Amino acid sequence: MLIQTQVDPYNKVIATIKSCKTKSQLEGASRMVENFKTLYKNVGYPKVLSYNLDETLKQQYITICQL
C-alpha cells in the first residue's frame, strides 16, 4: 500500500505537467515538481520518479517552445 500512496501524487504531477499549454503554467508545474521532491525525499521515494518528473518537464518545455 505504501507504493500506491507514493505513485498516486506522482501521477497527478505528471498529468499536470502534460496539461501545461503555456510557459507560465509550466513554471507552476516546475514548482509542483520541486515540492514533490522535497516532500517525498523525506520518506524515501525511488530516484527514478525524480528523473521521470524532470524528463517529462523538459519534454513539455521543448514542446511548448516549438509552438
Please give the Cα distance from 37 to 9 (Å, whole number): 11
Residue range 9-25: mean pLDDT, rounded:
95
Residue range 10-38: mean pLDDT, rounded:
95
- Please report where in the chains the cell 520518479 appears, as a residue: 49
Handedness of CA 30, 31, 36, 41 (dihedral sign): positive
- Determine if the pTM surpasses 0.75: yes
Mean pLDDT estimate for the chain:
88
Share of the chain above pLDDT 90, in %: 66
pLDDT greater than 90 at residue 1: no
Please give the Cα distance from 28 to 25 (Å, whole number): 5
